[in-house]
């Protein structure tokens, strides 16, 4: 029953709109509008619930129009509903942290647990294949905590970007007791922020501490790591390089109408939905642009709020409005996937991209990739399915196809304030709120987040090998996204006028790879012919490669140290590989079982089965020999470790591992 409740919560987004009629009947339109996209997506959602979708998707039998839950646009909530939401947020802000004492000194509250998880996961959930999928799961986990730990009876609201041209005076940020708090106090003229050549976000009308609304007394403790505010404001630095130290300071905002008047308009959202046909271009353009980063929706939403911590990619969830912005991002993805009936099956089963935004050529995302939430995930009971805290990438959209069997336990009684969460059995008689025509019409602007139906999981399902078109590659343009590397100048952090801009880690890696590629090609030529000029070029490129490696090494070593040293880094690598081996083992066993059944039924001949068995045995043996784990005895991060991680031949570049120096 707990699983059914989760499905109800997740499918709720299917019944929401952007401001148009929520009727399941879509009127013919000569010109497609954003409201038209919402209407079409909503109509298709009804078909999913009714089992009348024509694309062949398998459907859940437990979810229908009478049992789904509803996520609403924040401004469409009644004052009482808005108050209930902010009360629940304040509750989780006061509840104690579940993280190990002393490990993260700045994490004092249950809310901080979610911030810490995001800080740790930032490089592996931005500009990656799982960007939208992981955040869907993350938002759902936060929503679940509000409901099960703080007695919230509603669902996570979202902020419809296109609804408020005057965002400063909107119901979200007008500062009354039913809002998400006001803007920061005015601090007068202050510097803006460069997001690319000739692309500048001007300073807004706020910038100071928040003094109005339900979060007036909110103290920010974690971070900053990558602050983007005017340096003259002297945002207090964190006592620890990794940003996890206790750093109490006020909550700042610099809300402005810059983006809502120029880049978050209905026509901008419509264009993004209709002009991108593949998931790779859709999600890449959602996060970065080769021409104008001001027009990037993910960036525009975050920096409409800005401030501290809202403008820090690592610590941004510490801003309570973060969850409204990312719920809208989730909704935007859902509308794209659902508005064309003939595309639903493919768009809800595709994902694309790498697995680490700092490494452009990182391994491609797979359906078996684990999505880490740690203590942010709900409690776990019997683990008959993949761990709740580490769910597979392909599980976020499965609620569109079959009931989600939840491994999560829902406490019977919510924990309020400082009381610890209940571990009682789940309450079996709590149905989701019924969605009648009245409910739907009241919730006209409720976003039909396709993801809400997929929120209990982590991502979109796929049974196909992951393609790797160039559009999905996380190249050096990552430095243009909302993701900014700490302590360096990036397109989102203005460069000092006195010093040259330091390239991002992604750009440093790309530069090193380019040098290595040229060196490899030259070395290959040199083995077949002798040419004095070629030898000189090899020496030149080897020198350039070493210089690029030295520059990258400094940045990488700092990051490893912030992770807790080489021991902690290698331990994480070991755990990750062991988990992947377990996933691979499960898949091999399933494949083996399938072949055995095929042999018994006569679909596979004895000869074919024997060949498979031999190949399977060799593959298993190879995996066992390949994967050996050894953690470091010290915390020394060395050049050869980094080069090995990047698959760079030490002999080619000329590095002596034993002497820990360059040859020659």
Please tell me whether residues 227 and 167 are part of one structural domain. yes
Residue 422 belongs to a domain: yes
**What confidence score (pLDDT) does residue 408 get?**
27
Flag whether pLDDT at 292 surpasses 50.
Answer: yes
**Do 517 and 653 lie in a common domain?**
yes
Task: Show contacts of 418-422: CB within 8 Å, 24+ apart.
Answer: 418/94, 418/95, 418/96, 419/95, 420/96, 421/148, 421/149, 421/379
Residues 253, 387, single domain; the answer is: no
Residue 476 lies in a domain: no
pLDDT greater at residue 113 or residue 378: 113
Radius of gyration of the chain (CA): 26
Q: How far apart are CA 285 and CA 290, in angstroms?
A: 9
* pLDDT tens sequence across 410-432: 232 333 333 333 333 333 233 33
- The structure tokens listed for 406 are 């939840």
Look over the chain and give the mean of its residue pLDDT values, rounded to a whole number. 73
Establish whether the linkage from the previous residue to 309 is cis, with ω within 30° of 0.
yes
Structure tokens at 402: 């079959």
Rounded to 5 degrees, what are φ and ψ at 252?
Answer: -105, 150
- Percent of the chain residues topping a pLDDT of 90: 35
**Cβ-contact 295, 307 below 8 angstroms:** no
> Are 375 and 113 spatial neighbours (Cβ–Cβ below 8 Å)?
yes
Q: Are residues 371 and 386 in the same domain?
A: yes
Q: How far apart are the first and last CA of the chain?
A: 69
- Say how many domains are in the chain: 4
Q: Do 540 and 621 belong to one domain?
A: no
Residue 29 lies in a domain: yes
Mean pLDDT of 223-237: 91
d(CA 126, CA 140): 18
Q: Are residues 285 and 195 in the same domain?
A: yes
The gap from C-alpha 487 to its chain's centroid, in whole angstroms, comes to: 22
Q: Where does the pLDDT of residue 339 fall: very low under 50, low under 70, confident under 90, or very high at 90 and above?
A: very high
Most confident of 125-134, 396-405, 534-543, 584-593: 125-134
C-alpha to C-alpha distances, 325 to 270, 368, 405, nearest whole angstrom: 17, 28, 28
| Nearest in space to 491 (alpha carbons), one of 501, 500, 499 | 501
By mean pLDDT, which of 201-210, 262-271, 585-594 is the weakest?
Answer: 585-594
The model's confidence at residue 177, banded by pLDDT at 50, 70 and 90, is very high
Q: Which of 155-159, 237-241, 559-563 has the lowest mean pLDDT?
A: 559-563
The structure tokens 């929120």 sit at 455
pLDDT at 179 over 60: yes
Sign of the CA dihedral running 418, 419, 423, 429: negative
Same domain assignment for residues 237 and 350: no
Q: What average pLDDT does the segment 511-533 reach?
A: 59
Same domain as 654, residue 545 = yes
Indicate whether 103 and 178 sit together in one domain. Answer: no
Is 495 among the domain residues?
no
- 521 half-sphere exposure, CB direction, 13 A CA radius: 7
- The answer on 421 and 365 residing in a single domain is yes
Identify whether residues 120 and 205 lie together within a single domain.
no
Q: Can you give the residue range of the structural domain that contains 234? A: 162-264+278-319
In whole angstroms, how far apart are CA 567 and each of 432, 572, 629?
Answer: 47, 9, 12
Instruction: Tell me, yes or no, whether 471 lies in a domain.
Output: no
């Amino acid at each position: 029953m707990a699983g059914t409740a989760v499905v109800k919560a997740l499918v709720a987004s299917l019944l929401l709109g952007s401001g148009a009629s929520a009727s399941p009947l879509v009127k013919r339109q000569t010109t497609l509008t954003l409201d038209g996209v919402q209407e079409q997506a909503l109509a298709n959602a009804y078909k999913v619930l009714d089992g009348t979708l024509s694309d062949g998707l398998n459907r859940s039998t437990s979810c229908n129009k009478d049992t789904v839950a509803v996520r609403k646009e924040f401004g469409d909530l009644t004052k009482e509903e808005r108050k209930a939401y902010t009360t629940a947020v304040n509750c989780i802000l006061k509840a104690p942290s579940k993280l190990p004492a002393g490990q993260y000194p700045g994490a004092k509250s249950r809310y901080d647990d979610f911030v810490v998880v995001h800080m740790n996961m930032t490089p592996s959930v931005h500009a990656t294949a799982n960007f939208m999928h992981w955040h869907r799961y993350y938002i759902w986990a936060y929503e679940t905590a509000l409901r099960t730990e703080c007695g919230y009876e509603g669902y996570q609201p979202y902020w419809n970007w296109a609804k408020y041209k005057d965002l400063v005076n909107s119901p979200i940020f007008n500062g009354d007791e039913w809002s998400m708090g006001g803007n920061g106090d005015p601090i007068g003229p202050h510097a803006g922020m460069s997001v690319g050549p000739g692309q500048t976000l001007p300073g807004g009308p706020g910038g100071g501490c928040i003094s109005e609304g339900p979060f007036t007394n909110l103290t920010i403790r974690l971070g900053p790591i990558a602050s983007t505010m005017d340096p003259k404001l002297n945002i207090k630095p964190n006592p620890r390089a990794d940003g996890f130290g206790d750093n109490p300071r006020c909550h700042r905002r610099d809300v402005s109408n810059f983006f809502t008047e120029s880049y978050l308009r209905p026509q901008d959202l419509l264009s993004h939905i209709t002009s991108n046909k593949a998931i790779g271009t859709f999600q890449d353009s959602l996060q970065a642009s080769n021409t104008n980063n001001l027009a990037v929706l993910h960036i525009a939403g975050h920096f409409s709020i800005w401030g501290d911590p809202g403008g820090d990619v690592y610590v941004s969830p510490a801003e309570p409005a973060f969850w409204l912005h990312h719920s809208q991002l989730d909704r935007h993805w859902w509308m794209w996937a659902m508005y064309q009936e003939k595309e639903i099956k493919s768009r809800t089963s595709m994902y694309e991209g790498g697995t680490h935004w700092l490494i452009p050529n990182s391994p491609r995302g797979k359906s078996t990739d684990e999505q880490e939430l740690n203590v942010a995930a709900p409690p776990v009971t019997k683990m008959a399915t993949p761990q709740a805290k580490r769910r597979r990438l392909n599980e976020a959209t499965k609620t569109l196809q079959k009931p989600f069997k939840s491994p999560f336990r829902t406490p019977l009684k919510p924990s309020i304030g400082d009381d610890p969460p209940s571990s009682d059995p789940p309450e079996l008689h709590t149905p989701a709120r019924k969605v009648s025509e009245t409910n739907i019409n009241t919730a006209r602007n409720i976003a039909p987040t396709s993801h809400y139906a997929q929120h209990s999981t982590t991502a979109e399902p796929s049974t196909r090998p992951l393609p790797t078109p160039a559009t999905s590659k996380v190249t050096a343009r990552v430095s243009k996204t909302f993701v900014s590397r700490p302590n360096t100048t990036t397109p989102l952090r203005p460069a000092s006028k006195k010093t040259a801009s330091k390239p991002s880690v992604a750009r440093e890696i790309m530069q090193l790879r380019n040098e290595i590629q040229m060196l490899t090609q030259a070395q290959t030529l040199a083995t077949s012919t002798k040419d004095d000029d070629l030898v000189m070029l090899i020496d030149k490129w080897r020198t350039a490669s070493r210089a690029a490696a030295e520059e990258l090494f400094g940045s990488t070593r700092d990051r490893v140290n912030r992770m807790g040293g080489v021991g902690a880094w290698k331990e994480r690598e070991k755990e990750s590989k062991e988990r992947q081996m377990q996933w691979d083992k499960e898949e091999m066993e399933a494949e083996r079982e399938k072949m055995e059944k095929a042999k018994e039924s006569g679909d596979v001949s004895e000869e074919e089965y024997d060949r498979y068995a031999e190949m399977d045995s060799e593959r298993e043996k190879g995996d066992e020999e390949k994967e050996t784990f050894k953690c470091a005895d010290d915390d020394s991060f060395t050049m050869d470790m980094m080069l090995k991680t990047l698959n760079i031949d030490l002999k080619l570049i000329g590095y002596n591992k034993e002497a820990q120096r360059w040859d020659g």
